[in-house]
Amino acid sequence: MSRSDFPGWHGTTIIGVKKDGQVVIAGDGQVSLGQTVIKGTARKVRRLSPGGFDIIAGFAGSTADAFTLLERLEAKLEATPGQLARASVELAKDWRTDKYLQKLEAMLIVTDGKELLVITGAGDVLEPENDVAAIGSGGNFALAAARAMMDSNRDAEAVARAAMAIAADICVYTNGNLTIETISS
């Protein structure tokens, strides 16, 4: 079976919400292979502490690829302590130009409590508008739901939880088993 014939891994929705001095990254726990749920309790949101600085990262895509990217991000953060944007740009540059990294199939949402960034394999480091970012199979559903709630009196975690619940109701590759990490600015 060639790589193009392989049914592919699906099953991630990650959302980042920045509101009222808090940033929340939430991710569901579903991993699917084709039409089959392989695992429902995966942890796709992690807290990193390179050089004593707290960073939260959520990943969508291939798990092995995401862990490779998280390790590379940690190394970049250790080289540039407290500079999430700079470390993210350096990672994105490497990702785009390194022949090994170019084959990685994953995306990241990262935050240090001040910045909320999306890092892609196309060499992009994006700071989302409206303080909401979402990636993965149900990302567009979660993004739309969260943006609709940003003017409500809900805090960042409540917005993230509600948006993830809506995405799980719509996207067959997303479930309601959430991992949530919060950081304050």
Determine the Cα–Cα distance for residues 15 and 136; give it in Å rounded to an integer: 9
DSSP single-letter state for residue 137: T
Determine the Cα–Cα distance for residues 21 and 41; give it in Å rounded to an integer: 29
Active site residues: 12
Select from 122, 119, 131, 126 the least CA-distant residue to 160.
131
Question: Which residue's structure tokens are 């999306």?
Answer: 118
Select from 155, 93, 85, 159 the least CA-distant residue to 127.
85
The residues pairing with 18 across neighbouring beta strands, listed in sequence order, are 23
